[in-house]
Amino acid sequence: MYVLRMDVRVTHPDGTVVTSGVDKPKMGEIIELPGTSGTDRVEVMVTMASGQTYKVVDQQVLYKSLG
């Protein structure tokens, strides 16, 4: 209700950056971006109705095999 936009940025170990975002995200909404077999930095920013932008996630994510 108060979040106008959610943006995700993934920075790979080689410096390449992949981004995506969604306007007016709903609770539980998922954004999937490709990762690497190394450790990627994941940042999630939300823009509120007030116009303020907040970084809500900033963490290193280690590759995990699905198998």
Give residue 37's pLDDT: 93
Q: Which of 38, 37, 33, 39 is nearest to 6 (CA)?
A: 33
Give residue 67's pLDDT: 66
pLDDT of residue 53 exceeding 90 = yes
pLDDT of residue 38 exceeding 80 = yes
CA pair distance 55, 46, nearest whole angstrom: 7
pTM attached to this predicted model: 0.88
The pLDDT tens digits of the residues spanning 16-33 come to: 999 999 999 999 999 999
